[in-house]
Amino acid sequence: MHELGITRNIVAIAADAAKGRRVLRVTLDVGRLAGVMTEAIQFCFETVAAGTALDGAQLDINEITGRAKCQACGSVYDTPTLFTACVCGSRACERLSGEELKIRSIELEEAA
């Protein structure tokens, strides 16, 4: 499963960034067009996090709606799929959001 690899990467990056401190919460930005199942990431997270700096941490997933800018008429519109055309009929667009998959923030335990 592709989401297991993604979850392992997220945990590895967050654990590295924590530099020995405990991670309490990780927030991800996941575009609805990124091609990943957020439920699967949630499902894997606890198991992958066990025994790392993220053991017991909360995972929040912020889903980002797909948006694009039409190159024909300049309007900005929501794209529920990668193939959604503009109302003017053009499919030539610049992707603005919806394909991201990144860590937005990491909340660490206060240093004692």
Q: Please choose, out of 2-10, 11-19, 49-57, 88-96, the segment that lies near Zn ion by the rule CB under 5 A.
A: 88-96
Q: Which of 58, 62, 65, 90 binds Zn ion (CB under 5 A)?
A: 90
User: Whose Cβ is closer to Zn ion: residue 49's or residue 68's?
Assistant: 68
Q: Please choose, out of 1-9, 13-21, 51-59, 89-97, the segment that lies near Zn ion by the rule CB under 5 A.
A: 89-97
CB-based contacts of 106: which residues, under 8 Å, 6+ apart?
Answer: 14, 17, 18, 23, 25, 26, 27
Closest C-alpha to 72, from 100, 94, 105: 94
Told to check if 1 binds Zn ion by CB under 5 A, we report no
Smallest distance, Å, CB 96 to Zn ion? 14
Closest C-alpha to 110, from 18, 33, 37, 27: 18
Q: Which amino acid does the sequence have at 10? A: I
Told to check if 86 binds Zn ion by CB under 5 A, we report yes
Told to check if 88 binds Zn ion by CB under 5 A, we report yes
